[in-house]
Amino acid sequence: MKKVRCAVVGCGVIGPVHAEALSRSERAQLVATVDIVPERARTLAEKYKAESWYDDYTKVLERSDIDAVFICTPHYLHSPMVVDAARHGKHVLVEKPLATDSATASMAVTACKEAGVRLAVCFQNRFNPATSAVKRAIERGVLGDLISVTGNVSWYRPEEYYTESPWRGRWETEGGGVLINQAIHTLDLLLYFAGDVRSFSATLDRLGHSSIEVEDVASISMKFSSGAIGNFFASTCSYPGFDVRIEVTGTNGSAVIEGDKLTYFKTITGDTYSLEEEDSDLVTAAKSYYGSSHPRLIEDFLDSVINDRAPLVTGEEGKRSIDLLDAIYREYRQQCAK
């Protein structure tokens, strides 16, 4: 089997999750690691037996023997790095969010299209068995016509979370607050289930953290293209933090996802659901709220490169949540400026 030769760029919090998955994949070879802190790049390269490590991203772009780059850097670097990689003929998997706004997200998508390379965005929760079960139920009409889709992300982050990583909590570098960082995975699933948002009403505020300039609490009412009504709440002020909850209601039944588990599924006709079996080889030891589906998404991306097909979470799919957040943030910042 052909192996995709890969480089992980950004070896801080999430980069090691990607490196671990690549090291265990039969489709990939981890060739290089990159980080502006040389020790982090060297340590990760040694742990997973990568050939090389660098403190300069351009070094991997110059290598003709590297097929794909995995971008795991702070938000504001995502789109520029995707564009650079595409122009050097590299396939790209980028951590969420694809970009900090719609304009730069479009630049990333366009650059990859023009270069003829694959672009995937890391919304790994789309690969959770619970997500797949609910998505299948919606597509097959088991739940009937969608009526409502709601989400709740009530998490907690101490002040140090922001002060110890200065790029967080800033419009210029993070692109926003709880919505674009912690809650974007759940927001993506609402769009995945119910379609794009036709209209919204949003209330955002900074209530629990003094060191940031972005929102740490948000409440959004939405009308989806499917016709469903949606409500979404997100916070990093909710001590001690609770499992993410998604409720999907249709004319024939309802489903509830808590954390990454399908905890409720009931229909008028008595339909049942089936979960795809967990593959123990694809479970990565990482922070619990990441879930266990990074390896599944990475395998899908690698397969898309090898077999020249679109990945499940394309750049266009990754851009959907950015387009919504761009509109929400634009409205919020205009209100703050008054």
Predicted confidence (pLDDT) at residue 289 exceeds the cutoff of 70: no
Token digits of residue 191: 């769009």
Calculate mean pLDDT across residues 194-220: 98
Peptide bond into 240 cis (omega under 30): yes
Give per-residue pLDDT as tens, 225-242.
Answer: 999 999 999 999 999 999
pLDDT of residue 337: 80
**pLDDT higher than 60, residue 282:** no
> Which range is least confidently modeled, 147-151, 164-168, 196-200, 231-235?
164-168
CATH fold label, 129-262: Dihydrodipicolinate Reductase; domain 2 (3.30.360)
What's at 74, amino acid-wise? Answer: P
Task: Summarize the confidence of residues 126-136 as an average pLDDT.
Answer: 95
Q: Distance between CA atoms of 97 and 251, rounded to whole angstroms?
A: 33
pLDDT band for position 335 (cuts 50, 70, 90)? confident
Residues 6+ apart with CB under 8 A from 336: none
In this predicted model, what pLDDT tens digit does every residue of 27-80 receive, in sequence order?
Answer: 999 999 999 999 999 999 999 999 999 999 999 999 999 999 999 999 999 999
CA distances from 101 to 75, 156, 213, 324, 333 (A): 10, 25, 17, 9, 13
Across 99-121, average pLDDT = 98
Q: What is the dihedral of CA 293, 120, 165, 186, to 10 degrees?
A: -50
With pLDDT > 90 as the criterion, what percentage of the chain qualifies?
91
pLDDT of residue 280: 35
Q: Which of the four pLDDT bands, split at 50, 70 and 90, describes residue 96?
A: very high
> What is the pLDDT at residue 272?
74
The tokens describing 275, both together, are 């979960």
pLDDT at 84 over 70: yes
The reply to whether omega before 97 is within 30° of 0 (cis) is yes
What residue segments make up the domains of the chain, in order of their start? 4-124+295-314, 129-262
Say whether pLDDT at 243 is over 80: yes
The one-letter amino acid code at 1 reads: M
Overall average pLDDT of the 74-99 stretch: 98
Please give the CATH topology (third level) of the domain spanning 4-124+295-314.
Rossmann fold (3.40.50)
For residues 52 and 34, what is the distance between their CA atoms, to the nearest angstrom? Answer: 9
Closest listed residue to residue 121, CA positions, set 269, 312, 327, 295: 312
Of 290, 15, 324, 317, nearest in space to 176 by CA: 324
pLDDT of residue 274: 62
**Amino acid occupying residue 87:** R
Confidence grade of residue 285 (pLDDT, cut at 50, 70, 90): very low
Provide the pLDDT for residue 2: 82
Quick one: pLDDT at residue 275? Answer: 59
In 3-state terms, what secondary structure has residue 191?
helix
Contact 167, 76 (CB under 8 A): yes
Note the pLDDT of residue 290: 52
Q: What kind and span of H or E run contains 221?
A: strand 217-224
**What is residue 28's predicted lDDT score, i.e. its pLDDT?**
98
Q: Is the pLDDT of residue 287 over 70?
A: no
Q: Residue 291: its pLDDT value, please?
A: 58
